[in-house]
Structures are given as structure tokens and as C-alpha cells.
């Protein structure tokens, strides 16, 4: 697909909604409900339907907004990888999601598309810094269920519903690798479709931890993610007040509403305002 280049595209927003590639009747609805639709050729498509799904996706690309359409290809090493790579290249897809990314070479194979690399195996998590450094890497993400499958585990969550330590470690490692290379990080999906409160809590945590977006598997999840990624009005007002006060302060450290404000706190306030404006 050509030499790797810095991607010229950006993440379109915080809510990225998966849609099975073999369900073209759902493409437009999914695109209308979320900031971006992820047309999936991987996990949601049965092996016998892979070729048809690829053809359906390629055929629909002309009517979908290329800046808000992501194609998740099948993983490197599978029998569908070469065909998927050729298809997205021929169609000029601008945003590609790479499952089970394990090396910069996996990302480079999809250039010049901007690649959202899923670090969802042990090798992928350990290689996250190198993957993030690949020129055509647009963002990093992760996946707890695929990671546990790779580890030979039983479930990503314990009996209390919380992520297991190794899963929390992987999530943090991917977030840190993305930030170190100035790439946005995308949080994984919330699998309990009806648990909107849990989704909201997970989304708030993702946003406040530094994730730029979150993937989802149901149209009803998109609005929850959008709302959760926007800061609370009181927090946005505080952040704007801090930034306004900073403009009138000659020193690098000052007091605002009883709290010491310095460079790291100013950076956090700027992040809150960006989220409020997004």
C-alpha cells in the first residue's frame, strides 16, 4: 500500500460504533447514530461470509463519509488478510482498524491509511510503544476478551465485575504507549448491552483517564459515550475560569478558588475545555 506516512486524518469523535460487515442494511443507521461507524470484517462475520462482507463494505464506501467510516480488517496471518489489505487499498479507505496488532510492520502494511491498532494479545500489548511509533498509526486501542483468550484465561473480569489486574495493566500500558507517542487512545467496548449505567461510568473513567474515544457495539451506547466524554458543566466552568485567571497572572503558580494552580493543573484545565468543545 505504499511507504508509511503520517496519517492525515483524525479520530472523528468519541463514539465509534461497530457494525457487522455482512449487514449492509445496518450501515447507514450505525453511521447516523455514532461519530464513526466501524464496518467489521473480523469477529462479527462468520468465516463463510467473509468474502461477501468484504464486497458489501467496498460497495458501500462510496456513499458513506470517508472521514467517519472505519474498516476493521481481519488479523495478519489469517487467510483473509491479503485480500482485505488489497481491498482497502484499492478502495482508498482512509481509516482502517487493525486487530491483534503485534508489530510496526503490521501497521505499515496498511499505509497510507490511518490505522487504529488494537493491542489485544500479550505480544501486542508488549509491543504497544513500537506500534504507536509507526508513522501511519493513527491511534491505539486494546481488547480484554482477546487478551484473555491469548493468555489462556477464562474471563477478563472477576466475580465482582471488575477487570482483572492483568487486564487493567494492559489498558494502562496501551494508554501510556499512545500518549508517549502523541497518539490518541481508544477504550474498548462495554459488552453488557443493557447496562447503560455501567457504560456511562466506564466512559467517564476513560475520558478522565485520557482516552480520546470509546468503541461500542450497540447504537444506544453512542449517545451515552458522547454524553460521558463531555465534562460536567461545573467542571467545564471551573476549567474556563482557571484559564481566564491564568491570563492575568504574571507568575507560573497562582491560587484559584482555594486551589494551587501550576503548569500540570493548567494542562488538565485545557484538556477539560477541549472535551467541552468537542
Domain range annotation of the chain: 15-229, 233-276
Superfamily of domain 15-229 in CATH is Phosphoenolpyruvate-binding domains (3.20.20.60)
The backbone torsions φ and ψ at residue 213, rounded to the nearest 5 degrees and listed phi first, read -160, 170
Whole-number Å distance between alpha carbons of 26 and 204: 28
Going by the annotation, the residues of the binding site for substrate are 72, 120
**The total number of residues written for the chain in this structure:** 278
The backbone torsions φ and ψ at residue 139, rounded to the nearest 5 degrees and listed phi first, read -160, 160
Find the mean pLDDT for residues 156-173: 96
- The 10s digit of each residue's pLDDT in 93-148 is 999 999 999 999 999 999 999 999 999 999 999 999 999 999 999 999 999 999 99
**Residue 193 cell numbers, joined:** 448491552
Going by the annotation, the residues of the binding site are 72, 120, 146
Going by the annotation, the residues of the binding site for Mg(2+) are 120, 146
Supply angle C-alpha 129, 135, 136, rounded to 5: 105
Supply angle C-alpha 115, 121, 123, rounded to 5: 90
Contact 47, 21 (CB under 8 A): no
pTM of the complete model: 0.88
Supply angle C-alpha 166, 171, 176, rounded to 5: 120
Amino acid at each position: 500500500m505504499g511507504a508509511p506516512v503520517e496519517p492525515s486524518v483524525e479520530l472523528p469523535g468519541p463514539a465509534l460504533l461497530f457494525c457487522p460487515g455482512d449487514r449492509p442494511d445496518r450501515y447507514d443507521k450505525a453511521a447516523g447514530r455514532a461519530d464513526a461507524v466501524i464496518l467489521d470484517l473480523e469477529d462479527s462475520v462468520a468465516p463463510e461470509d467473509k468474502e461477501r462482507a468484504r464486497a458489501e463494505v467496498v460497495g458501500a464506501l462510496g456513499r458513506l463519509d470517508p472521514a467517519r467510516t472505519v474498516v476493521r480488517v481481519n488479523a495478519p496471518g489469517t487467510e483473509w488478510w491479503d485480500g482485505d489489505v488489497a481491498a482497502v487499498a484499492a478502495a482508498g479507505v482512509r481509516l482502517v482498524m487493525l486487530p491483534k496488532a503485534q508489530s510496526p510492520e503490521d501497521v505499515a502494511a496498511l499505509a497510507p491509511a490511518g490505522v487504529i491498532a488494537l493491542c489485544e494479545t500479550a505480544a501486542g500489548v508488549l509491543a504497544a510503544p513500537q506500534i504507536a511509533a509507526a508513522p501511519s498509526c493513527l491511534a491505539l486501542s486494546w481488547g480484554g476478551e482477546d487478551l484473555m483468550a491469548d493468555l489462556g484465561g477464562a474471563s477478563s473480569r472477576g466475580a465482582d465485575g471488575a477487570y482483572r489486574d492483568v487486564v487493567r495493566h494492559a489498558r494502562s500500558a496501551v494508554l501510556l504507549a499512545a500518549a508517549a507517542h502523541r497518539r490518541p487512545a481508544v477504550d474498548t467496548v462495554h459488552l453488557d448491552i443493557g447496562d447503560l449505567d455501567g457504560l456511562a461510568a466506564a466512559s467517564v473513567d476513560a475520558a478522565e483517564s485520557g482516552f480520546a474515544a470509546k468503541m461500542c457495539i450497540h447504537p444506544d451506547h453512542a449517545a451515552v459515550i458522547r454524553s460521558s466524554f463531555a465534562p460536567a458543566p461545573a467542571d467545564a466552568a471551573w476549567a474556563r475560569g482557571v484559564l481566564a485567571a491564568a491570563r492575568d497572572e504574571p507568575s507560573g503558580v497562582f491560587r484559584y478558588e482555594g486551589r494551587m494552580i501550576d503548569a500540570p493543573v493548567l494542562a488538565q484545565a485545557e484538556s477539560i475545555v477541549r472535551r467541552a468543545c468537542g
